[in-house]
Structure 1
Amino acid sequence: MLIVDHLLNDTEVRVLGALIEKEITTPDYYPLSLNALMTACNQSSNRHPVVHFDEDMVARAADSLREKKLIHLVDRSESRVSKYRHVLYEAMNLSRPAIAVMCVLMLRGPQTVGEIRTRSNRLYDFSSLEEVETTLTSLMSAAPPLVVRMPRQTGLKEVRYAHLLSGEVRLAESEPEPDRIAKLEKEVEVRVIACWYDACSGHHGRYAQRGRVPTLNSAIRRWRG
């Protein structure tokens, strides 16, 4: 059983995940040309984050993955275009359920057991959440481990799992997308309110004479409508 000799960067993870996905979901168009591989990496559905790689980025990542013996370049006599295919089954001795789990984690980041089952339905038909958990356990027990169980985060009911192909997962990077958006919206709200309040403070004397000194609470109420 061969193990990844070096950690993968984000571009390599996306390239490898895209190859795994397309082998299973669109076998008639697999292996993939460089252009098709770039398109698969950049698609907006079933991806987090959405990226905008160019051909040079994808080609460099593919060359690096070839050196790590995780993908092969296929030259066929009937085609003038070289194409890429992954060899993760052979390189890591992974089962089809394990490949499906790794693929969705590589393409969409840390996820709960339920999310993994739902999002992998085109890759493998898990019969139950327990089957997903069994697969995750096998990946966590591999030598070296390929998946990690994330610490439970405040405000989340379920724990999530992440792949380890890029090394240790930093908690800030694993924050769910809705939580990131909510946090950004809150930061924008606070900054807008602060700017509005500062502007009003410049007219403190005029407002005070009229008995209308604005407060932060009134600013918040006005901002929220």
Structure 2
Amino acid sequence: MTKDLTEERRRMAKLPLIIFLCLLFPTTVLSLQQYAATVNMTVGLFFDNFNEHTPPEAPDRWTVYSGTWQTATDGTTVYAQTQKNVDRTVSMAGDTNWTDYVFQVKVKFVFPPGTPPGTGAILFFRFQDTSNYYFLAMAEDKDELLLYRRIGDVEEQIGLPASITLVENQWYDVRISIEGQIINVRIDDVQYFTNQESGGTLTTGAIGVGTKRYSCSFDDVNVNSIPS
């Protein structure tokens, strides 16, 4: 009996070491593929909340193609596009080699739109260049969400519009996922596009924000990879 208790205590004493080794060398209990998936789920591709900048300083990780972009103060520091009469403004970030990912961002409509219809915010994904990308249009004037693909300067709508109530001076939490050619869009915990086929051929691309004849602010940009 004493011998059995002593042996049991010895086995129990080894448990902390076993746990430590499992944490230090996780591939001993997980396959390499499982471990890679775990790392991909927890390590983000990109994040910017713009707080490291003093308005109106321009953030250094963004490339502006059109529009007037600068940081501004709205409770915290945000990224703002202030020119409201441009048909399409674009500011891009990230890596054009990104494949499948979830793109999250906060969007706010700030000033009244210009005269032409179809005005609001634009969120780009699978962005290769100004001729090749997918995007979500948040049309504040029509209370609609629309998906588009632009390939070789040819722009086509993806699927049907989704109805949504959009108002000025309110933050919207937008989540876009792209996996293969499947798009999902969720705003403020409401799903608006579910497993929507893009109908396109773009397999990689960066992300971006933009506007159409509107001034908008963006904050808390977050991109996370989807494990393959």
Does TM-score exceed 0.5, indicating one fold? no
Using CA pairs below 8 Å that are at least 6 residues apart, which structure has the higher relative contact order? 2
TM-score normalized by the length of structure 2:
0.23
Per residue, is there more strand in 1 or in 2? 2
**Higher-Rg member (1/2):** 1
Per residue, is there more helix in 1 or in 2? 1
TM-score normalized by the length of structure 1:
0.23
